[in-house]
Amino acid sequence: SVAHASGIVHRDLKPDNLMLVPDAVAPGGERVKILDFGIAKLTDQDLRNVRTATHTIMGTPMYMSPEQCQGAGRVDAKTDVYSLGCLLYEALCGVPPFLGEGNGEIIAKHLFQEPVPIRTLASTVPAPIAGLVHRMLLKDRSQRPSMTKAADELGAIISGLSNSMPLFRTPATQSHDPD
Protein backbone atom coordinates (compact mmCIF):
# COMPACT_ATOMS: atom_id res chain seq x y z
CA SER A 1 0.00 0.00 0.00
CA VAL A 2 3.06 2.29 0.22
CA ALA A 3 3.46 2.02 -3.56
CA HIS A 4 -0.25 2.67 -4.04
CA ALA A 5 -0.06 5.75 -1.80
CA SER A 6 2.73 6.99 -4.10
CA GLY A 7 0.56 6.44 -7.17
CA ILE A 8 2.28 3.25 -8.37
CA VAL A 9 0.52 0.01 -9.38
CA HIS A 10 2.85 -3.03 -9.57
CA ARG A 11 0.79 -4.96 -12.20
CA ASP A 12 2.77 -8.20 -11.86
CA LEU A 13 2.36 -9.58 -8.34
CA LYS A 14 3.24 -13.27 -8.48
CA PRO A 15 5.24 -15.74 -6.37
CA ASP A 16 8.48 -14.96 -8.23
CA ASN A 17 8.19 -11.28 -7.25
CA LEU A 18 7.81 -11.86 -3.51
CA MET A 19 10.63 -12.56 -1.07
CA LEU A 20 10.68 -13.14 2.68
CA VAL A 21 13.28 -10.95 4.38
CA PRO A 22 14.33 -10.76 8.03
CA ASP A 23 12.61 -8.00 9.99
CA ALA A 24 13.03 -7.97 13.77
CA VAL A 25 9.88 -5.89 14.34
CA ALA A 26 7.58 -7.92 12.05
CA PRO A 27 5.42 -10.70 13.50
CA GLY A 28 7.41 -13.93 13.15
CA GLY A 29 10.62 -11.99 12.42
CA GLU A 30 10.07 -11.80 8.65
CA ARG A 31 8.19 -9.61 6.20
CA VAL A 32 7.35 -9.86 2.53
CA LYS A 33 9.33 -7.68 0.15
CA ILE A 34 7.88 -6.99 -3.29
CA LEU A 35 10.41 -7.16 -6.14
CA ASP A 36 10.50 -6.26 -9.85
CA PHE A 37 8.57 -3.08 -10.49
CA GLY A 38 9.56 -3.43 -14.16
CA ILE A 39 6.02 -3.09 -15.51
CA ALA A 40 4.69 -0.87 -12.73
CA LYS A 41 2.38 1.92 -13.82
CA LEU A 42 2.16 5.43 -12.51
CA THR A 43 -1.49 6.19 -11.79
CA ASP A 44 -1.30 9.98 -11.62
CA GLN A 45 -3.54 11.28 -14.41
CA ASP A 46 -1.21 14.25 -14.97
CA LEU A 47 1.49 11.91 -16.33
CA ARG A 48 -0.14 11.62 -19.77
CA ASN A 49 3.20 11.22 -21.59
CA VAL A 50 4.11 8.00 -19.76
CA ARG A 51 0.78 6.19 -19.93
CA THR A 52 0.67 2.66 -21.31
CA ALA A 53 -1.36 1.97 -24.44
CA THR A 54 -4.87 0.88 -23.49
CA HIS A 55 -4.85 -2.38 -25.44
CA THR A 56 -1.45 -3.59 -24.26
CA ILE A 57 -1.66 -6.65 -22.01
CA MET A 58 1.09 -6.77 -19.41
CA GLY A 59 1.50 -9.18 -16.53
CA THR A 60 1.47 -12.88 -15.72
CA PRO A 61 -1.88 -14.37 -16.82
CA MET A 62 -2.41 -16.61 -13.75
CA TYR A 63 -2.40 -13.53 -11.50
CA MET A 64 -3.92 -10.82 -13.72
CA SER A 65 -7.08 -8.93 -12.83
CA PRO A 66 -10.02 -8.88 -15.24
CA GLU A 67 -9.37 -5.22 -16.07
CA GLN A 68 -5.70 -6.02 -16.69
CA CYS A 69 -6.76 -8.85 -19.00
CA GLN A 70 -8.73 -6.27 -21.00
CA GLY A 71 -5.71 -3.99 -21.46
CA ALA A 72 -3.00 -2.23 -19.45
CA GLY A 73 -4.65 1.20 -19.69
CA ARG A 74 -7.52 0.08 -17.42
CA VAL A 75 -5.53 -0.73 -14.27
CA ASP A 76 -5.46 1.00 -10.92
CA ALA A 77 -4.47 -0.06 -7.40
CA LYS A 78 -7.36 -2.56 -7.28
CA THR A 79 -5.56 -4.68 -9.90
CA ASP A 80 -2.85 -5.43 -7.32
CA VAL A 81 -5.57 -6.35 -4.79
CA TYR A 82 -6.91 -8.92 -7.27
CA SER A 83 -3.41 -10.30 -7.92
CA LEU A 84 -2.78 -10.61 -4.18
CA GLY A 85 -6.13 -12.41 -3.94
CA CYS A 86 -4.85 -14.88 -6.55
CA LEU A 87 -1.65 -15.40 -4.54
CA LEU A 88 -3.56 -15.93 -1.29
CA TYR A 89 -5.98 -18.33 -3.01
CA GLU A 90 -3.04 -20.37 -4.27
CA ALA A 91 -1.36 -20.34 -0.84
CA LEU A 92 -4.56 -21.55 0.82
CA CYS A 93 -5.68 -24.11 -1.79
CA GLY A 94 -2.45 -25.27 -3.39
CA VAL A 95 -3.58 -24.13 -6.87
CA PRO A 96 -4.22 -20.73 -8.44
CA PRO A 97 -7.86 -19.70 -8.91
CA PHE A 98 -7.69 -20.30 -12.67
CA LEU A 99 -5.69 -22.72 -14.80
CA GLY A 100 -5.95 -23.36 -18.52
CA GLU A 101 -4.28 -24.86 -21.55
CA GLY A 102 -2.90 -21.48 -22.59
CA ASN A 103 -2.84 -17.82 -21.70
CA GLY A 104 -6.03 -17.08 -23.65
CA GLU A 105 -8.02 -19.65 -21.68
CA ILE A 106 -6.70 -18.32 -18.36
CA ILE A 107 -7.51 -14.74 -19.35
CA ALA A 108 -11.05 -15.77 -20.33
CA LYS A 109 -11.53 -17.38 -16.92
CA HIS A 110 -10.39 -14.21 -15.13
CA LEU A 111 -12.91 -12.27 -17.20
CA PHE A 112 -15.93 -14.58 -17.06
CA GLN A 113 -15.60 -17.39 -14.52
CA GLU A 114 -15.83 -17.45 -10.72
CA PRO A 115 -13.13 -19.38 -8.85
CA VAL A 116 -14.02 -22.61 -7.05
CA PRO A 117 -14.90 -21.65 -3.46
CA ILE A 118 -11.80 -21.88 -1.29
CA ARG A 119 -13.49 -23.98 1.37
CA THR A 120 -14.45 -26.54 -1.30
CA LEU A 121 -10.74 -27.12 -1.96
CA ALA A 122 -9.44 -26.44 1.56
CA SER A 123 -12.15 -26.99 4.15
CA THR A 124 -9.93 -26.01 7.10
CA VAL A 125 -9.50 -22.42 5.89
CA PRO A 126 -11.43 -20.16 8.26
CA ALA A 127 -14.55 -18.69 6.62
CA PRO A 128 -13.53 -15.05 7.27
CA ILE A 129 -10.24 -15.55 5.41
CA ALA A 130 -11.95 -17.33 2.52
CA GLY A 131 -14.53 -14.53 2.38
CA LEU A 132 -11.87 -11.82 2.25
CA VAL A 133 -9.93 -13.58 -0.51
CA HIS A 134 -13.11 -14.04 -2.55
CA ARG A 135 -13.89 -10.30 -2.15
CA MET A 136 -10.38 -9.55 -3.40
CA LEU A 137 -11.19 -11.68 -6.48
CA LEU A 138 -14.41 -9.90 -7.41
CA LYS A 139 -14.63 -9.11 -11.13
CA ASP A 140 -15.97 -5.60 -10.42
CA ARG A 141 -12.98 -3.72 -9.07
CA SER A 142 -15.17 -1.13 -7.39
CA GLN A 143 -16.43 -3.93 -5.11
CA ARG A 144 -12.93 -5.10 -4.09
CA PRO A 145 -11.41 -3.77 -0.86
CA SER A 146 -8.45 -1.41 -1.08
CA MET A 147 -5.04 -2.92 -0.36
CA THR A 148 -4.97 -1.14 3.02
CA LYS A 149 -8.43 -2.40 3.95
CA ALA A 150 -7.59 -5.95 2.85
CA ALA A 151 -4.33 -5.94 4.84
CA ASP A 152 -6.03 -4.53 7.92
CA GLU A 153 -8.86 -7.06 7.71
CA LEU A 154 -6.49 -9.98 7.16
CA GLY A 155 -4.37 -8.88 10.13
CA ALA A 156 -7.45 -8.63 12.35
CA ILE A 157 -8.71 -12.05 11.26
CA ILE A 158 -5.36 -13.73 11.83
CA SER A 159 -4.82 -12.10 15.21
CA GLY A 160 -8.25 -13.34 16.28
CA LEU A 161 -7.59 -16.95 15.31
CA SER A 162 -6.08 -19.61 17.49
CA ASN A 163 -2.46 -20.44 16.70
CA SER A 164 -3.42 -24.09 16.47
CA MET A 165 -5.70 -23.61 13.46
CA PRO A 166 -3.88 -24.43 10.19
CA LEU A 167 -4.23 -21.59 7.68
CA PHE A 168 -2.11 -22.79 4.80
CA ARG A 169 -2.16 -26.10 3.03
CA THR A 170 1.10 -27.99 3.25
CA PRO A 171 2.19 -30.67 0.80
CA ALA A 172 1.50 -34.21 1.96
CA THR A 173 4.55 -35.86 3.41
CA GLN A 174 5.70 -39.03 1.80
CA SER A 175 7.05 -41.84 3.89
CA HIS A 176 10.41 -43.11 2.80
CA ASP A 177 11.10 -46.72 3.59
CA PRO A 178 14.77 -47.35 4.29
CA ASP A 179 15.78 -50.30 2.13
Q: Which residues have a catalytic role annotated?
A: 12
- Report helix, strand or coil for 19: strand
35 three-state secondary structure: coil
Whether 111 and 69 have beta carbons less than 8 Å apart is answered as: yes
**How does DSSP assign 78-103, residue by residue?**
HHHHHHHHHHHHHHHHSS-S---SSH
Backbone angles phi, psi at 31, to 5 degrees: -135, 165
Instruction: Return d(Cα 156, Cα 43) in angstroms, integer.
Output: 29
Give the whole-angstrom CA distance, residue 124 versus residue 122.
6
Q: How many other C-beta atoms can be found within 10 angstroms of the C-beta atom of residue 95?
A: 15
Task: Please report, as a single letter, which amino acid is at residue 174.
Answer: Q
| Residue 80 near residue 147, CB atoms below 8 Å | yes
| E-assigned strand segments in 23-107 | 30-34, 41-42
